[in-house]
Chains A and B, each alone.
Chain A
Amino acid sequence: MPVGPYQSPLAFISDAELDAHHAAQPVDYQAAPQPAGLKLRGVEKRFGDNLVLRGLDLDVPAGQFLAIVGKSGCGKSTLLRLLVGLDEPTGGRIEFVDEEGEAAEPNSRIVFQEPRLLPWFSVADNVAVGLGDGVPKAFGRREAERALKGVQLSEKSKEWPSKLSGGQRQRVALARALVSRPGLLALDEPLGALDALTRIGMQDLVTNVWRELGFTAVLVTHDVAEAVHLADRVIVLDEGRISLDLEIPRDQPRRHGDPVLAELEGSLLDTILGKA
């Protein structure tokens, strides 16, 4: 463990030199994103007597946009935490695969319902946190600016997080998750606390960055319409099992109010509420 404030060994190098350095010798954290697919086999999670996930089997191809819906308390967040390694399953296994189906090391990130920004860091520094410890300062700053541009917040890069609106904060959190070019992005109701209009804007943003960066996305949402609008595939979680697995046969970008999507949304709601 280092015992002083981090001093990059490259701190004395100018931006131009840094560019040349990276061109000559590509660094790991700048590598193009490798989407990570998922392979779940009999995944179980138990909290004491409470069996929350009861043997999940699930294959998510690399680059897919998967949405998970289900009643409150059915284990959606629990599943996401397992996927990004915040918790260990009590049974079964989770494997990550690349586009060819070979085993892969995922670079996974998660965005929560709350943005969890550090109030004492500027917006840009918060985004740079996503690059991890030990990256050169100049590099971190530039990557943060780039990620902020991606979420259309360039002009706020020097502000304190407390000066932003809720939607803007959530975009900063998204930029922080994306700045390291994750192969797997888990989103736990990231838009759940936003008002309807902000939400539509954020949905378009998520769709756009996903199409541009090509990571695998796993979105937990309590809004079935949102799931149908964003995802390639929607699964319904019920009592710790997958009770429905539905492909959404529509290309992005999608129109709000598409009748086929409305139909799918209706049948999904019926399944969740137990009317089917």
Chain B
Amino acid sequence: MTTVDTFSEGRSLRRIREDRTPSAAIGYSDPPKGAAEKAARANDGKPRRPRSVSGVALLPFLLPVTLVLLWQAGSSFGFISDRIMPSPVAVVAAFWERLLSGELARDVGVSGARALSGLLIGGSIGFLLGIANGVSKLSEQLTDTTLQMLRTIPHLAMIPLVILWFGIGEEAKLFLTSLGVLFPIYLNTYHGVKNVDRDLIEMGRIYGMSGWSLFRKVIFPGALPSIFVGLRYALGIMWLTLIVSETIAANSGIGYMANTAREFMMTDVVVLALVIYAVLGKLADVIARTLERAALSWNPAYQR
């Protein structure tokens, strides 16, 4: 009999369903790793090393490093007043001092715990609502319109009301953070479930899946790319909400650290707080990306 293998490699005219990646493209701006090397190879098909690997890799850091050096020089030569902007060295010194005293660990820990618990509570509610409304018509009709209306209220606009309800304690921050992350997670989960390929669901039913097994094998994995988009969006909102609410009222955390420092005109600590927020935000995003890559390794968009 004919060996099918010799004929079938790579000659299909089929539209390739599995290659469609509905939500993978939203919001990812970084070019895939190794794109430069691929481009270099494309010309003659032979792998050719870029002239200097380290040179290419370091290029993106050229500008920030130069800026920091200029900033340091400006401070050292007295062009920039300490009141307006501390020197980078002063920021590093402030970092070291607070690290040794243990204050830094405490404040970062408190802020991190707030962020995480807000994400957990708001994220779970949003996720469960998204799944329920994507799967059940009844649930969708009951709650979707309401959620879509609530979504249009900027959650930070509720701060006065939240202070009236909860005072300025932990509950207020938890409530705001949860509220902030709820909607992006809800919307993307709902959208993801709604957009799972109908043909795949029909296939699942033909092969006897229903209820939990249909959800576990078809609907949830199909919605996962979109859920991750929601998660990463929610992480941004989570930090933003936390910064605002910690700055308004807190007696611990990074926002508190920055606020007290402002009262004493310690600009180095204020800038340190900014840097820490940035690092935490980046860290959260890197973790989410890593999870995403691991969970979506089947998706050609995440294969290297």
A1 close to B17 (CB less than 8 A): no
Known: A119-B299, A133-B213, A162-B300. A194 touches B14 (CB 8 A): yes
Known: A201-B4, A208-B1. A114 touches B298 (CB 8 A): no
Chain A residues numbered 206-226 whose CB sits less than 8 Å from any CB in chain B: 208
Number of interface residues of B (CB under 8 A): 43
> Does B49 sit at the interface, judged by CB under 8 A?
no
> Does B101 sit at the interface, judged by CB under 8 A?
no
Residue of chain B at shortest CB distance from A197: B7
> Does B199 sit at the interface, judged by CB under 8 A?
yes
Which of A52-60, A66-74, A163-171 forms part of the interface with chain B? A163-171
Number of interface residues of A (CB under 8 A): 47
Chain B residues numbered 133-159 whose CB sits less than 8 Å from any CB in chain A: none
B207 close to A120 (CB less than 8 A): no
Contact residues in A for B207 (Cβ distance below 8 Å): 129-130, 132, 176
Contact residues in A for B2 (Cβ distance below 8 Å): 200-201, 204
Residue of chain B at shortest CB distance from A166: B12
> Does B218 sit at the interface, judged by CB under 8 A?
yes
> Does B89 sit at the interface, judged by CB under 8 A?
no
B1 close to A133 (CB less than 8 A): no
> Does B29 sit at the interface, judged by CB under 8 A?
no
**Listed residue (B14, B202, B211, B218) with the most chain A CB atoms within 10 angstroms of its CB:** B14
How far, in angstroms, from A5 to B216 measured CA to CA in the complex? 8
How far, in angstroms, from A166 to B2 measured CA to CA in the complex? 18
How far, in angstroms, from A245 to B91 measured CA to CA in the complex? 88
A181-207 vs B, CB cutoff 8 Å, 1 = contact: the mask equals 000000000000111011011101100
Q: Chain A binding site: helix, strand, loop or mixed by DSSP? A: loop
Contact residues in B for A6 (Cβ distance below 8 Å): 213
Chain B residues numbered 194-223 whose CB sits less than 8 Å from any CB in chain A: 199-200, 202-204, 206-213, 216-218, 221-222
Known: A165-B12, A193-B13. A118 touches B212 (CB 8 A): no
B208 close to A198 (CB less than 8 A): no
A152 close to B3 (CB less than 8 A): yes
How far, in angstroms, from A6 to B211 measured CA to CA in the complex? 12
> Does A117 sit at the interface, judged by CB under 8 A?
yes
Query: Within the complex, what minimum Cβ distance (angstroms) separates B52 from chain A?
Result: 34
B298 close to A119 (CB less than 8 A): yes
Contact residues in B for A171 (Cβ distance below 8 Å): 4, 8
A118 close to B14 (CB less than 8 A): no
Q: Which residue in A3, A116, A194 is a CB contact (below 8 Å) of B12? A: A194
How far, in angstroms, from A110 to B206 measured CA to CA in the complex? 8
Residue of chain B at shortest CB distance from A6: B213
Q: Which 5 A/B pairs are nearest by Cβ-Cβ distance?
A: A166-B12, A167-B8, A166-B14, A201-B4, A119-B18
5 new A-B contacts, CB < 8 A, other than A121-B217, A170-B14, A202-B8, are A162-B18, A162-B298, A162-B299, A165-B12, A200-B2
15 contacts across the A-B interface (CB closer than 8 A): A84-B206, A110-B206, A116-B203, A118-B217, A120-B224, A120-B298, A160-B298, A162-B18, A165-B9, A165-B10, A171-B4, A195-B13, A198-B4, A204-B1, A204-B4
